Amino acid sequence: MNQKSTIFTISATALGILIMVFILFFNHARRNADNNRSTEITEGLDLNFSELPDTDIPLIDDSASRSPFASSALDALRKLLAALAADSSAIRREVILRFNNEAQYNEFLKTLTDRNLRLLGNSDRFMSMRIGFENYGDLFSELANLDPSSYEVETNFLVSLPGQPGTGESPGAGDGAIPFGRDALKLIGIGEGNLEFGKGIKVAVIDSGIQEHETFSGKNILEYDLVRDANGNSVPIDSNNGHGTAVASIIAGSDPRYSGVAPAAEILSYRVLDNDGYSDSYTLAEAIIQAADSGADIINISLGSKGDSGIVRRAVDYANDAGVLIVAATGNEGVNSISFPAAIEGVVAVAANDALGQHVDFANSGNNLQDGGITAPGYAVWAAWPEGEAVSFSGTSASAPFVSGAVAAVMSENQGMSAISAYELLQNHSNEAGAPGNDIVYGTGNLNLGRVLERNVPDITDAGLASYYYDPASAELGGQSNTAQVVIENRGTTALHNLTVEVESGSAERTYNVSFIPVGEIAVIETPVGFSSGVTEEGLPVSATVIVNQNLNGEDRDISDNSFRKNIELDSSKQP
């Protein structure tokens, strides 16, 4: 939103021309009782303002029109209103003003009480302030006196909890999804003896606040409450507001009934969501900055927004520059679009899977998954809830803290390792899933902390049947509409030789040989799908099994992942 400086003086003739431009653009004029001329700026624009109430229609009066920078202020106002019309998450009657000049920032801040604006928050670090106002005419009047080269106007967006899977616009997990229950830690490779995981590591939880629970016994949770009412007063947290409590318990709970991934981690709680589950971009950015300044190694954000906020991006950059890893949920709308801040470069986007490692329908997908994201448990995992209760917790809100806890565990088990390096290990040792390589659905694959912890243990033989992947659109585009890909992964610490892979599709059976797979690598077998036979109403039943030659490789230590069975559908939109 960079604007070039334009300085000019409006003469009587220029004023007349400006009024004519207003009329041409907005096709409506009003006159008040004292003959001040004001012009509606929404009429005639090619924008849909039907959702804006009449009280939101801004008026520009004659005196403001004579201000030195009226034209630039009008341009800024039009862009703001365009954002309001285009995005339902854009918050009305407030903006974020970002100054490029420290002197003008301080001057504006000092004289704010003399203006028709309300200060809702300010950041000296970013020379930004969150401003509220009663009508857009007041905002225009103030901007019309500011040199446009000294500031930028940004939209403040609504931030909220991801939708509850299976309710409202959020789909359920999908047919055949298997809940984790109490087995989530086991299925990401954690056995007994993890009580010291996370020791010495600080994890910030930006959420709805963390309430007392026995799973946090003996843990000193540092609380920072950023929620305020319209008068700036603190707002007590409702006893049934348990989202942040559940998230924190997955990271660092110590109750053996639903132990966290890294029980010894230190937790910093930043409450940004009110009791209805809402916040805003400015408050989220404020929490990120405070967490980084407080020495957090990892920041978990199990909430999101549809709006791409400039101040949140700057906060992410600030935290990244300080070496802080930010982990965020992709969202639960089941769409090919990731929520912010998970969609921002430099943030680890986390999608959700079930107990079989399958993508669940509600988890959003998108580019930032492919560019460095990951998938973790997110369907019916046990978590703590206020007043000593436990709940079956679903959503990418649950998935993100598994990753945050895993990073803390790797850091504590490798003294001196940075959060970014710890996460890279988790990426490199994730279980392949979906399309071969990184993809927009699973990212680098499914979280497997156990593989990281055992990466230096010699001679582990572990072959995994990663996926049977068929996407009709991609197959047709590649000129192989009847071809699927069977993906085998070496999840052990020794090379695999001469594996036998049996594939069944419809009524056809085929056998393949894979001669060699290096440690941590995959082999891809292209095989006919066989739609000519075996298709049912549920789709085409397919299965694959990898058989390890024990004489050459030793015994496969985990055969639970050596077989795969599913029904594939012709509809590419349903392919994980």
- H/E element, 251: helix 243-252
Of residues 90, 93, 92, the one with CA closest to residue 309:
90
The C-alpha atoms of residue 4 and residue 7 are separated, in whole angstroms, by 10
Tokens representing residue 419 in the block: 């959060």
Top-confidence residue, 113 or 559: 559
Mean pLDDT of 206-211: 97
Q: Where are the domains of the chain?
A: 12-156, 159-453, 463-574
For the cut 80, the answer to whether the pLDDT of residue 371 exceeds it is yes
Give the Cα separation of 178 and 161 in Å (integer). Answer: 24
Q: Which of 10-14, 146-150, 196-200, 312-316 has the lowest mean pLDDT?
A: 10-14
List pLDDT tens digits, range 299-350.
999 999 999 999 999 999 999 999 999 999 999 999 999 999 999 999 999 9
pLDDT in tens, 57-107: 445 555 555 677 888 888 888 888 888 888 889 999 999 999 998 999 999
Per-residue pLDDT tens for 17-44? 333 434 333 333 333 333 333 334 434 3
Longest dimension (CA), the chain: 98
Q: Which two tokens stand for residue 144?
A: 């019309």
In eight-state DSSP terms, residue 531 is T
Q: Check whether 55 has a pLDDT greater than 60.
A: no
Q: Which residue has the tokens 């050459």?
A: 552
Q: Could you tell me which CATH number the domain at 463-574 has?
A: 2.60.40.10
Q: In what order do the strands lie in the sheet with 30-31?
A: 30-31, 37-40, 59-60
What is the mean predicted confidence (pLDDT) over 378-404?
96
Report the amino acid identity of residue 496.
L
pLDDT in tens, 163-194: 889 888 789 999 889 999 999 999 999 988 89
pLDDT of residue 441: 97
| SS3 label, residue 43 | coil
DSSP 454: T
Comparing C-alpha atoms, which of 91, 89, 93, 87 is closest to residue 58? 93
Positive/negative CA dihedral, 566, 571, 574, 575: positive
Residue spans of beta strands (DSSP E) within 278-414:
278-280, 298-301, 325-329, 347-353, 374-377, 381-385, 389-393
Q: How far apart are CA 105 and CA 120, in angstroms?
A: 15
Reading the block at residue 364, the tokens are 């959003």
Residue 125 predicted with pLDDT over 90 = yes
The tens digit of pLDDT for each residue in 232-284 reads: 888 999 988 999 999 999 999 998 888 999 999 999 999 999 999 999 999 99
Cα–Cα distance list, 254 to 195, 260, 525 (Å): 7, 6, 43
Q: Read off the pLDDT of residues 425-470 as tens digits, 9 standing for 90 and up.
A: 999 999 999 999 999 999 999 999 999 999 999 999 999 999 999 8
pLDDT value of residue 537:
63
3 state DSSP class of 317: helix
Q: Which residues contact 239 (CB under 8 A, 6 or more apart)?
A: 211, 386, 387
The answer, yes or no, to whether residue 218 has pLDDT greater than 80, is: yes
Q: What is the mean pLDDT of residues 538-559?
A: 92
CA distance between the termini of the chain: 37
Supply the pTM of this predicted model. 0.87
If one counts every other C-beta atom within 10 angstroms of the C-beta of residue 203, the result is 30
In the beta sheet, which residues pair with residue 154? 96
Helical (H) or strand (E) element with 65: helix 62-65
Instruction: With cut-offs at 50, 70 and 90, classify the pLDDT of residue 541.
Output: confident
Active-site residue set: 207, 243, 397
Q: What is the pLDDT of residues 489-513, one digit of tens each?
A: 999 999 999 999 999 987 789 999 9
- Radius of gyration for the alpha carbons in the chain, expressed in angstroms and rounded: 28
Q: What percent of the chain has pLDDT over 70?
A: 84
pLDDT score recorded for residue 191: 87
The CATH code for residues 159-453 is 3.40.50.200
pLDDT digits (tens, 9 = 90+) for 126-142: 999 999 998 888 888 88
Both tokens of 146, joined, read: 């500011």
pLDDT at 571: 53
Six-digit token string for 279: 């916040």
